[in-house]
Amino acid sequence: MWPAQESRPAPRKSTVSRVALGLVRSTYGNGHHELHTSIPETEVEQQIRGAEDSQAGPSDVDEQQEEEEEALTFRPDRIGFIGAGQMGEALICGFIRAGICSPGQLCASVRSEERRQRMLSLGLQVFGDATLGGSAELAAASDIIFLGVKPQYLDGVLEALAPHITPRHLVVSIAAGVRLASLEGRLPEGTRVIRVMPNTPCLIGQAASAYVLGNHATNEDAAKIYMLLSSAGLAVSVEERMMDAVTGLSGSGPAYVFLAIEAMADGAVAAGLPRDKALALAAQTVSGAARMVLEGSGDGSLTHPALLKDRVTSPAGTTIVGLAELEASGLRGALIRAVQAAAKRSETLG
Ligand SMILES: NC(=O)C1=CN([C@@H]2O[C@H](COP(=O)(O)OP(=O)(O)OC[C@H]3O[C@@H](n4cnc5c(N)ncnc54)[C@H](O)[C@@H]3O)[C@@H](O)[C@H]2O)C=CC1
Ligand SMILES: O=C(O)[C@@H]1CCC=N1
């Protein structure tokens, strides 16, 4: 239960209040995120876009003054990571790189000396193992707590963390497969929880992340997580029943693409190209092709990959011969089955 001196979180509002949005923006800036208009936005996302798009005119002076006064008394959210491994570090570096928060706002609970040194080198405050006192210190130093341990370590972490959660905290789980109900059930009644599935390209500001709000998360929490995630790539909200599919696609997907890049480069090496040039050309080809799907139309809408494929494929040319090999080898089916298998595995992790 909540400690008596702390107030309950505000009930979910139908809209994000102007001041709340102002606070989110003063905390996280306007972000460097790209919004792809072809992907339906939530009300919160539309409001953030509206707030960013609107030019300040004379009638905004009072609003601006009010927001500046609020900002003077407002302390930016402090963000703690329990587990700062591959994905935790990618989020930390993505946020710092985007300038959405400073290392001084971040802290981490770690288990190994190697992780401790790495986090210190990034400028974070570091605490010890979350199950051995680290979660108490981290909770005291954080407003938003990311759970970045493997799903099988979540039980112990949640047990240790739960007594230190107060209404101030927003808990964000990135664990594959672990449902909101399961997270909420192991935290104090009323805890604001958000489930996120990011991916490792977050490290370089190119994440594909999906998120879903728990029962008690507010629209202000939604605005915060959207601003954070979209500062380091694409962020979309989904229904929870879609999270396993997201995990099989974009959560695990970078590994499929790394494998494809490696194999394409191998093919080029077999055909006589030096390894370094083969790898660079393969990676840039994948990156450029992906950008054409995302940006090729020029109006923010997605372009269907089949259309783009046809533009590469000359009659009796080289590409159609390569494509025929891929179809004969079952690449299309293999990718479909890979995403399905990973999504199925995600279902079993919770
Ligand atoms: N690696 C990826 O591409 C993605 C991972 N995820 C999720 O992120 C979570 C973490 O995955 P990875 O970063 O790949 O794993 P990882 O093993 O690289 O990182 C987890 C870290 O948590 C630490 N840890 C474990 N117990 C701890 C404790 N009691 N106190 C403090 N630290 C503790 C470990 O020492 C390790 O450094 C998982 O739940 C996974 O499902 C989600 C999306 C993508
Ligand atoms: O392989 C995994 O389980 C994690 C979740 C998504 C990507 N990596």
Does 3 map to a domain?
no
Last residue of a domain, one of 241, 261, 280: 241
Last residue of a domain, one of 190, 213, 241: 241
pLDDT score, position 28: 58
Query: Does 209 sit in the ligand 2 pocket, CB within 6 Å?
Result: no
Ligand with minimal distance to 207 CA: 1
pLDDT tens track, the chain, 350 positions: 233 333 333 333 333 444 444 445 555 554 444 444 457 677 777 776 666 555 444 455 666 666 666 555 566 899 999 999 999 999 999 999 999 999 999 999 999 999 999 999 999 999 999 999 999 999 999 999 999 999 999 999 999 999 999 999 999 999 999 999 999 999 999 999 999 999 999 999 999 999 999 999 999 999 999 999 999 999 999 999 999 999 999 999 999 999 999 999 999 999 999 999 999 999 999 999 999 999 989 999 999 999 999 999 999 999 999 999 999 999 999 999 999 999 999 999 98
User: 83 with 174, same domain?
Assistant: yes
Domain count, the chain: 2
> Ligand 1: which of 81, 107, 149, 154 to mutate, judged by most atoms within 8 Å of the beta carbon?
149
Query: Does 198 sit in the ligand 2 pocket, CB within 6 Å?
Result: no
Ligand with minimal distance to 147 CA: 1
pLDDT score, position 42: 75
Does 170 map to a domain?
yes
pLDDT score, position 8: 32
Last residue of a domain, one of 184, 212, 241: 241
Does 1 map to a domain?
no
pLDDT score, position 11: 34
User: 236 with 300, same domain?
Assistant: no
Among 257, 267, 241, 239, which residue's Cα sits nearest to residue 338?
257
Contact 322, 58 (CB under 8 A): no
pLDDT score, position 66: 66
User: 38 with 173, same domain?
Assistant: yes
User: 129 with 64, same domain?
Assistant: yes
User: 200 with 277, same domain?
Assistant: no
Does 138 map to a domain?
yes
User: 50 with 185, same domain?
Assistant: yes
CA of 151 to the centre of ligand 2 (A): 10
User: 193 with 274, same domain?
Assistant: no
User: 268 with 183, same domain?
Assistant: no
The CATH code of the domain that includes 172 is 3.40.50.720
Residue range of the domain that includes 319 = 251-349
pLDDT score, position 6: 33
Does 5 map to a domain?
no
pLDDT score, position 126: 98
Separation between Cα atoms, residue 134 and residue 154, nearest integer Å: 14
Among 154, 158, 82, which residue's Cα sits nearest to residue 124?
82
CA of 175 to the centre of ligand 1 (A): 8
- Total residue length of the chain: 350
pLDDT score, position 334: 98
The CATH code of the domain that includes 326 is 1.10.3730.10
> Ligand 2: which of 153, 195, 247, 344 to mutate, judged by most atoms within 8 Å of the beta carbon?
247
User: 197 with 265, same domain?
Assistant: no
pLDDT score, position 2: 32
> Ligand 2: which of 87, 154, 243, 252 to mutate, judged by most atoms within 8 Å of the beta carbon?
252
CA of 141 to the centre of ligand 2 (A): 28
Query: Does 265 sit in the ligand 2 pocket, CB within 6 Å?
Result: no
User: 305 with 223, same domain?
Assistant: no
ipTM exceeds 0.95, yes or no: yes
Does 4 map to a domain?
no
User: 230 with 312, same domain?
Assistant: no
User: 83 with 211, same domain?
Assistant: yes
Does 43 map to a domain?
yes
Ligand with minimal distance to 150 CA: 1
Ligand with minimal distance to 339 CA: 2
Q: What is the pTM of this model?
A: 0.88
DSSP for 124-156 reads -EEE--GGGTHHHHHHHT-SEEEE-S-GGGHHH
Does 103 map to a domain?
yes
Among 61, 115, 36, 73, which residue's Cα sits nearest to residue 297?
36
